[in-house]
Structure 1
Amino acid sequence: MTGNTIFITGATSGIGRGLAEAFHKLGNQVVIAGRRRALLDEVTAANPGMAAVELNIDDPASIAAAAQHLITEFPALNVLINNAGIMPFDNASAEMDDAQAQRVITTNLLGPIRMTSALIERLKQQPQATVINNTSVLAFVPLATTAVYSATKAALHSYTLSQRFMLRDTGVRVREIAPPWVNTDLIKKGDDPRAMPLDAFIEQTMAVLATDADEALVEGVKAMRDNPGSGEHALVNGFNQALVDNPIPH
């Protein structure tokens, strides 16, 4: 939890910024990434000593450039937190917006795969290193009105399991954060009482990250993480019907 050099994608707001500031307060060298320089400057100005890199996680060339910058300027880099993601609503019962679907898959799934690939050899060279993939409770119980998003998070969870196994004999540990609905602007920041307050989520997540758990799950996620196998259809249908009856504002 201390003494690390940590790179966090999608860190100009929400969970990414919350994690960046929490790790920064513990004395780590934190490097944040995002598309917009103005927002990066705002976060680093509020947290003296924090650094920033412009990154378009959808663009392989931008990922390669960011990785080269990190390897050159921050040779002690030993933690990668794949946090960047987007969550547009969709309708799997109708014609899908193909461009939107491709962007969600590129950002949420290919982004972490490419970012880790670009840095993995450097991470292997460190005495101890960690990759943290930010998935979602929706990796286990999909939200039907964000079908593609939920599918990308399920895929990233699966990829994380494989990645953890493949790195088992190295010094690189692979961990997963699977947030519940958190009150950020990922969907719409509206202080809905069903959304977990961001500060509480960060506090609880940091507490779990300080343990040896591979999955950093806050208490409210655990029941859905234990998605009951062949009984999942009733769970998924009940979860989604509850949100039909009391919709998420967007």
Structure 2
Amino acid sequence: MQTRGNTILITGGGSGIGRALAEAFHQRGNRVIVAGRRAAALEDVVRANPGIEAFVLDVTDPEDIARAAAKIATEYPGLNALVNNAGIMQPEDWRAAEVDTGIAEATIATNLLAPIRLTAALLPLLHKQEKSAVLNVSSGLAFLPLAITPTYSATKAAIHSFSESLRYQLAGTGVDVIEIAPPYVQTELMGEQQASDPNAMPLAEFIDEVMSILDTQPEVREVLVKRVLPLRFAAEQGRDGYAKQFAGLNDHFAGK
């Protein structure tokens, strides 16, 4: 993927990684459109970054996705990059006497069904471009799950798998498929405390490294910053090494 001269749609673009990616691409001269459910957050992005465009989109609503796809085809016919970034991450307690699957269902709808539906809706437009790209934001937890967020980790593992298969099927079509797998980053994904957690990677550092990879490796398939490598390649340590790293990660977040 070339990082200049594109028309890019970024979901979940009102905050966190989505907003930071939007600003980074905008600074490189791309036409950037951010979409999300919170109109106020989108308006703040637009005010702070003249030239970025925005519209409200509920990615969990198939009808809203269809409406957005029609709008994009009409108003942004040159769209050649889709960043599936919108996501939610909430803890679940599967030890409860009665497990409430509401969080799991909402997580699957937002993190997995939404990017699948939006990609399907926009692929006809992406195929019209000489070169285009689908960028799926997964997570280091796709490869080493965090037990307190089991469905989040599972959806990100699914996004990794979906990206692999989509890339294979679209080979030779002109549509690249790129996966961005963040480590633990200072955003508000799991609440305000995460944005200042010293154990998390500063957001600006993460974005700088991501953009450097995209700038210098136009054929990249997986965007992996250095801090995510231990998670991404946990399985390469063998069964015992993986088990030790899994226990270390989860004991830390469990306060053990």
Say yes or no: TM over 0.5.
yes
Kindly indicate whether residue 238 of structure 2 is the aligned counterpart of residue 236 of structure 1: no
Cα deviation 1:84-129 (Å, max 9, x = unaligned): 0000111233343222211100000001000100001110110000
Unaligned runs of 5+ in 2: none
Kindly indicate whether residue 220 of structure 2 is the aligned counterpart of residue 213 of structure 1: yes
Aligned mate of 2:206, from 194, 201, 210: 201
Determine the structure 1 residue equivalent to 2:145: 142
> 1:143-182 to 2 correspondence within 5 Å?
143-182=146-185
Distance 1:110 1:174 in 2: 17
Distance 1:197 1:189 in 2: 14
Q: SS at 1:131's partner residue?
A: strand
RMSD: 1.2
Kindly indicate whether residue 192 of structure 2 is the aligned counterpart of residue 189 of structure 1: yes
Q: SS at 1:132's partner residue?
A: strand
Distance 1:70 1:158 in 2: 27
Provide TM-score, normalisation by structure 1. 0.95
Determine the structure 2 residue equivalent to 1:28: 30
CA contact (8 A) 1:92 1:147 kept: no
Distance 2:44 2:248 in 1: 42
> 1:62-81 to 2 correspondence within 5 Å?
62-81=64-83
Percent of pairs with identical residues: 49
Deviation at 1:38, TM superposition (A): 2.0
Aligned mate of 1:58, from 60, 80, 95: 60
Unaligned runs of 5+ in 1: none
Q: SS at 1:152's partner residue?
A: helix
CA contact (8 A) 1:131 1:175 kept: yes
